[in-house]
Structure 1
Amino acid sequence: MVSLTWLLALSYAGLLLLSAYTDSGQSSALLFEITSVSSAPVDLILSLDSMSVIFISLVSLIAACVMLYTQKYMESDPNKNRLSGLLALFIASMILFIMIPNIITMLLGWDGLGIISFALVLFYNNSPSAGAAMITALTNRIGDILIIMALGLHLKVGHWNLSTLESLSSQWVYFLLLVASCTKSAQFPFCAWLPQAMAAPTPVSALVHSSTLVTAGVFLMIRLSEGSLPSQTWLNLLMFLATTTSLVAGLSALVETDLKKIVALSTLSQLGTMVLALSLGHPNLAFFHLVTHAVSKSLLFICVGTFISCNKGGQDTRNLTSQLWLTAPLSFFGATVANLSLCGAPFLSGYYSKDLILETLWQLPTTSYVTLGAAISTALTSAYSLKLLKISFTSLPTNESDPVRLTTGEPTHTKAPILLLSFMTLYLGYFLSKSSTLFFTPLLLSSPHKHLASLMLIAGWVLMVAEEVGLIASITYPSHHFIHSMFFLETLTPQANLMGSKAPLYSPYKAMDQGWIESSTIRAAKMLSESLFDQNTNLAKYPILSYVALSALALVVFLALILPGNPPFF
């Protein structure tokens, strides 16, 4: 694991050197011709441009920090080497997906992410992990099927390159690829699997929810929008889905009590913000927010993992030990910086990307639902982030929860990743906005519009106080379960549908499979074998009977073979 960490760190340093060359708009590509289908070439193309170099550098850095953190977090697990191998394959699949601009060979990285994520979520090999892994796999299978359908529709063009999709005669390929991206990035209504994937170990969550699996769909949308934007109909659909995703995730996070699920729902809300920026016709803004969010979210997951370790595995926010800021001061500092960045607090990394997205939205003619929904989701982000900070600072166990469980100190291996990611969360947004032409987007807005985004932070504090006093979806309200279950989306998942279909089919199953079918097949064979076994036992008790029975059988067979005509006794 140490060698892999050094390899990722060195790859990050080398890619930073390449970024100075590729920021000028140049790109490099390496092409391998594999075969052809109906005169359409199937090529393996490895391409590097400014966007892919930045994203691979980001994945390498976050992976190095996560692998270093994993050394301490999983040191007592007997299967830690298996986890390291799966994480290495997962990172390789993501890098391959980023570098391939061809739809058909892109499936190498796309399917690699889906298959390995199934194994990672199933790592603990228990019932909750199995259910979460199945939901994750089936949802991602929908995206795989849509991509295969898009390949068939795109065959008549003669190639499968993402860079020249503007030559399509139909927008349906765009639609299929956009919906496939929504399944991977957990956009509404495919968002129920993301909180369930928290059954995986915390290092896996830090990698999956920051820069790999969930961002693959957003990155594919960005690549699709580079040449030419999809039709306005599909952009309006994306705008609606992104706004709904952010609202559902924000409300659910506000009433959630599981620590890791709160962070997962925060990821879901930020993914909605990225897709919203893309639907506004600004893919570079979506990528900017993807970069700043990846750093902040990986930092937050590592800090939350430390909180869980200090609480000896407890994830219930009603049972967190008090004064975590004294038990794990560095992790508390990192969590504070990450949460404020996700809120869009001024001059942190998240501010430079999220503020640009909101200002772009407010200067364009959009529907009232999108404008108001984006403002409310921003306030909700502030609300659950501040709530998380308040809980980790002043939380006391409730009477219904277990006694206080406390360990002291922070693992040494977590300090370096937290310090590095905290530094990047503080300064990366400013650095990218000033040094890279990819993220420079000047806007001219009035003073009220400029301060409206900052006012959402205050509105979030008001929502947090309202939730604490029970004004928003108190546990005694009927609406609590509606919001907590993500507007009943969890009941629409494949696992829930399987359980729901059991009730009406149980009686026919009982009557047939456990009734006459079993009596005439399995039970009958069992009774026959038991009868033969009893006869064999009786013959074994009396050897003379065995001799007489075998002699009679031999005589019958002999007569059947030598006598002409019909066999005797028939």
Structure 2
Amino acid sequence: MDTIITTLTMTIFIYLTTSIAKLMTHQNPNINNAKNTLMISFIISLIPLSLMLNYNMEITMSSSPIILMATTNINISLILDTLSLTFVPIALFITWSIVEFSIWYMSTDPHIHKFIKHLLTFLIAMLIIITANNMLQLFVGWEGVGIMSFLLIGWWYARSDANTAALQAIVYNRIGDIGLILTTAWLMSSSSMNMQELFSQNEVINALPLIGLIAAATGKSAQFGLHPWLPAAMEGPTPVSALLHSSTMVVAGVFLLIRLHPMMQKSNLMMTACLILGATTTVFAAASAITQHDIKKIIALSTTSQLGLMMTMIGLNQPMLAFLHMATHSFFKALLFLCSGSFIHNLENEQDIRKMGGLNKTMPMTSSTITIASLTLMGMPFLSGFYSKDTIIETITSSYTNSWALTMTLIATTLSAMYSMRIIHLTLTNFPRTKQKTHQETKAPTYPIIRLTLGSIFIGTMTKLSTLQTTTTITMPKTIKLSALMVTMAGIMLAIDLLYSTTHQTPQKPKTYNLFFNQLAFFNTLHRALPMKTLKFSQQTSTELVDLWTLENYGPKGLSNTLIPMIHTTTQQNNMIKNYLTTFTMTIIIILTITNI
């Protein structure tokens, strides 16, 4: 059994790597092969998953040591447990759908084969993170997703906004990466980098590596403080946004904390920090999403909000619940992005939801699927989001850890229903507000969109059936049981009421708090203010030092200062008239002599 699981997992890695090699070596590669590779890899990955679900096993696969050190030996080691074997098929399924969508969406791009190669490399880097059994291997995958996100966000490099967004992503992640490097260095020097050895230690670990882990997750998962890069990353092509926000990159931060949760759960301080950070992020991002008008930015901020919800669960000592939401969220978030990409493509690159409207008539299939995705995000009963989001809110409301954090999460749930309804109302209903003629839907993008829609509907039910054969009976007050549904319904009604009341009002100057959330708490302005002041100060200093002091001293003044002592040895006068006259006379004599000769 162990051999089957390990062999099939290695087959997936080799198969994907071979596919990338083909895209790199062939002059005109067939990009449909990449889509077929992902489909076959997904089918193969279901076999280890079904074996794991039936036998509930955990396998570790290690190579012989590659680097021999005094304290620890470094080798390639894969951990195949519930987390990795569950998430590998999800990542493959979503990437398969996104690559198929990309072939249609990016068909006019001259370097589409390179784009597909980048997407596959991105996936492999994420699979390395998921299956890594030591910190060094995890760090390789961690840096891999960072580099690939930089290349993909800045895909349209001729646009200055795309370059800025790519740099922003890499710089913010660098700040977080310092934390991961710190933790890895600390574990190398005082504990062990291998995860089994780490988890077997019972003593409370020092706060420093735990702070490093939270910092790493804050950067990668765009938690409050390092959040501005995620909405800015929308400058990349829509398939990149879909992959970045669903099953790679941003979930890597939360996955790191889920994987290393045994280290953190012994420290109450760090758990509280995760809880407060998650609650702040989820409410702030949800409030920001309401003030945005770009459809991709709204969905991007909803990702940050959902990641905040996962972080809150880690803070409440429920890592598997955070993982469940991470799995279900991947499907409906990829679907939301693909639907928005379909709208943008058919509206000739229009992203402002105020300039859409009436799309349910011209694009009925995409309209239906984006409605399902939005309802799943809201946590409507019996769609996949309900099984994770509803359970999270029930856990929060029945907990007495931190009432402020719990209240913030409930407010964020109401706000998530509001921004979802805002997208549905402004894009699909009412009369068209488009400037250009909309194109009709084509058949090509329907297959990946329908696949993800079926995943968004059924994955929650399938998870429930596979993991909870016997449902446990839990006694809970009716208000707590229905709290998630009540706050969601309140959000929907409030959103509809506000939309109807504001559309008939005369245009007004934006309120201060509206601008505050729209500009993401002015983080970009604040972040740029200090570097700009430093740059100007250093520029002024260097100018004054070089131009007014160095060049002056070594130039005219230096020459003067070296000549004056020599003059003083031959004459008592302080001026240099004699020097000049002598030089002048000598030059004339030499010239006359030469000419006479």
What TM-score, normalized to structure 2? 0.81
Give how far 1:129 is off. 1.1
Give how far 1:158 is off. 5.0
Aligned mate of 1:331, from 348, 358, 366: 366
Aligned mate of 1:461, from 479, 492, 504: 492
Give how far 1:512 is off. 6.7
Aligned mate of 1:480, from 493, 514, 517: 514
Report the CA distance shift for 1:515/1:260 in structure 2 as closer, same or farther (over 3 A): farther
Distance 2:243 2:469 in 1: 25
Aligned residue in 2 for 1:310: 346
Aligned residue in 2 for 1:14: 44
Aligned mate of 2:416, from 369, 381, 398: 381
Give how far 1:229 is off. 1.7
Distance 1:519 1:429 in 2: 75
Aligned residue in 1 for 2:573: none
Give how far 1:514 is off. 8.3
Give how far 1:260 is off. 0.6
Give how far 1:230 is off. 4.1
Distance 2:470 2:362 in 1: 39
SS at match of 2:445: helix
Contact 1:380 1:460 in 2 (8 A): yes
Letter in 1 for 2:47: L
Give how far 1:407 is off. 2.8
Give how far 1:504 is off. 5.5
Contact 1:288 1:439 in 2 (8 A): no
Contact 1:211 1:294 in 2 (8 A): yes
Distance 1:51 1:234 in 2: 22
1:135 partnered with 2:168: yes
* CA displacement 1:343-400 (0-9 Å, x = unmatched): 01111100010010111111111222112101100000000000000011136577xx
SS at match of 1:47: strand
SS at match of 1:46: strand
Give how far 1:438 is off. 11
Distance 2:229 2:298 in 1: 14
Distance 1:439 1:498 in 2: 58
What pairs up with 1:272-421 in 2 under 5 angstroms? 272-320=308-356, 322-394=357-429, 404-421=435-452
Give how far 1:224 is off. 0.9
Distance 1:105 1:151 in 2: 11
Give how far 1:5 is off. 1.0
Percent identity of equivalent pairs: 31
Give how far 1:118 is off. 0.7
Task: Show structure 2 runs of 5+ residues with no match.
Answer: 1-30, 555-589
Contact 1:433 1:439 in 2 (8 A): no
Give how far 1:277 is off. 1.2
Farther off after superposition, 338-347 or 134-143: 134-143
* CA displacement 1:493-529 (0-9 Å, x = unmatched): 4x564345456666557767788989999xxxxxxxx
Aligned residue in 2 for 1:107: 139
* CA displacement 1:314-341 (0-9 Å, x = unmatched): 1111212x32112221111110011000
Contact 2:178 2:212 in 1 (8 A): no
Aligned residue in 2 for 1:93: 125
Distance 2:133 2:509 in 1: 48
Aligned residue in 2 for 1:159: 192
Farther off after superposition, 236-245 or 15-24: 15-24
* CA displacement 1:264-293 (0-9 Å, x = unmatched): 001010001111111111111001000110
Distance 1:395 1:184 in 2: 39
Give how far 1:474 is off. 6.7
Distance 2:214 2:517 in 1: 27
What pairs up with 1:22-101 in 2 under 5 angstroms? 22-23=52-53, 24-32=55-63, 33-101=65-133
Letter in 1 for 2:331: V
What TM-score, normalized to structure 1? 0.85
* CA displacement 1:19-67 (0-9 Å, x = unmatched): 1211232122221221133321112101211221110100000000000
Task: Show structure 1 runs of 5+ residues with no match.
Answer: 522-551, 557-570
Distance 1:278 1:438 in 2: 25
Letter in 1 for 2:166: A
Distance 1:73 1:281 in 2: 41
Letter in 2 for 1:280: L
1:491 partnered with 2:534: no
Aligned residue in 2 for 1:183: 219
Aligned residue in 2 for 1:451: 482
Distance 1:225 1:281 in 2: 8
Report the CA distance shift for 1:138/1:278 in structure 2 as closer, same or farther (over 3 A): same
Letter in 1 for 2:90: L
Distance 1:233 1:171 in 2: 9
Contact 1:474 1:480 in 2 (8 A): no
Report the CA distance shift for 1:28/1:245 in structure 2 as closer, same or farther (over 3 A): same
Farther off after superposition, 63-72 or 323-332: 323-332
Distance 1:385 1:95 in 2: 31
Aligned residue in 2 for 1:568: none
Letter in 2 for 1:229: Q
Contact 2:282 2:308 in 1 (8 A): yes
Report the CA distance shift for 1:474/1:110 in structure 2 as closer, same or farther (over 3 A): farther
Distance 1:175 1:385 in 2: 34
Contact 1:319 1:396 in 2 (8 A): no
Report the CA distance shift for 1:130/1:96 in structure 2 as closer, same or farther (over 3 A): same
What pairs up with 1:237-276 in 2 under 5 angstroms? 237-276=273-312
* CA displacement 1:458-510 (0-9 Å, x = unmatched): 221244246534599975212222111122222244x5643454566665577
Farther off after superposition, 472-481 or 68-77: 472-481
Report the CA distance shift for 1:135/1:229 in structure 2 as closer, same or farther (over 3 A): same
Give how far 1:454 is off. 0.6
Aligned residue in 2 for 1:564: none
Q: Alignment length, in residue pairs? A: 518
Distance 2:41 2:508 in 1: 49
What pairs up with 1:193-212 in 2 under 5 angstroms? 193-212=229-248
Report the CA distance shift for 1:157/1:514 in structure 2 as closer, same or farther (over 3 A): closer
Give how far 1:171 is off. 3.7
Letter in 2 for 1:349: S
Give how far 1:174 is off. 2.4
* CA displacement 1:92-135 (0-9 Å, x = unmatched): 11111111121012111111001111111111112111111111
SS at match of 1:41: coil
Farther off after superposition, 235-244 or 99-108: 99-108
Letter in 2 for 1:367: N
Distance 2:542 2:470 in 1: 60
Distance 1:374 1:82 in 2: 41
SS at match of 2:444: helix
Aligned mate of 1:118, from 132, 145, 150: 150
Distance 1:160 1:138 in 2: 26
